[in-house]
Amino acid sequence: MRKPRKTIRYPYTLEGQPLTEVETAIIEAIIQGYSFIRISKTLNITKSQMKWLVKKLYCKLGVNTKIAAVTKAIKTGIVD
């Protein structure tokens, strides 16, 4: 019998911390309408790294969706 997979949940204590250069590049690319796959290819990172970075980005912004992340990034002035 297989063991259940452990899900890694990033703690929400990251909210309010500044974004890294890569996270800023990701949110800017999301705003431009690029898909996660295209962003990962552009940044030369794997899909799993992209998922992890997006999860961290969402935690830092305190959101759960792409649209909420874009909205909050624009409202807080993280991106122009």
Domain holding 65, by residue range, is 19-75
Q: How many structural domains does the chain have?
A: 1
Residue for token pair 């309010």: 16
Residue range 22-40: average pLDDT?
94
pLDDT tier, 28 (very low <50, low <70, confident <90, very high otherwise): very high
Residues 61, 15: contact at Cβ < 8 Å?
Answer: yes
**pTM score > 0.85 for this model?**
no
Q: Does residue 45 belong to any structural domain of this protein? A: yes
Q: Does residue 14 belong to any structural domain of this protein? A: no
User: CATH number, domain at 26?
Assistant: 1.10.10.10
Instruction: State pLDDT tens for residues 33-48.
Output: 999 999 999 999 999 9
Q: Does residue 34 belong to any structural domain of this protein? A: yes
* Cα gap 11→7, rounded to integer Å: 12
The residues, any chain, with a CB within 8 Å of residue 26's CB and separated by 6 or more, are 39, 43, 50, 53, 54, 57
Say yes or no to pLDDT of 61 above 60.
yes
- What sign does the dihedral 58-15-46-31 (CA atoms) show? positive
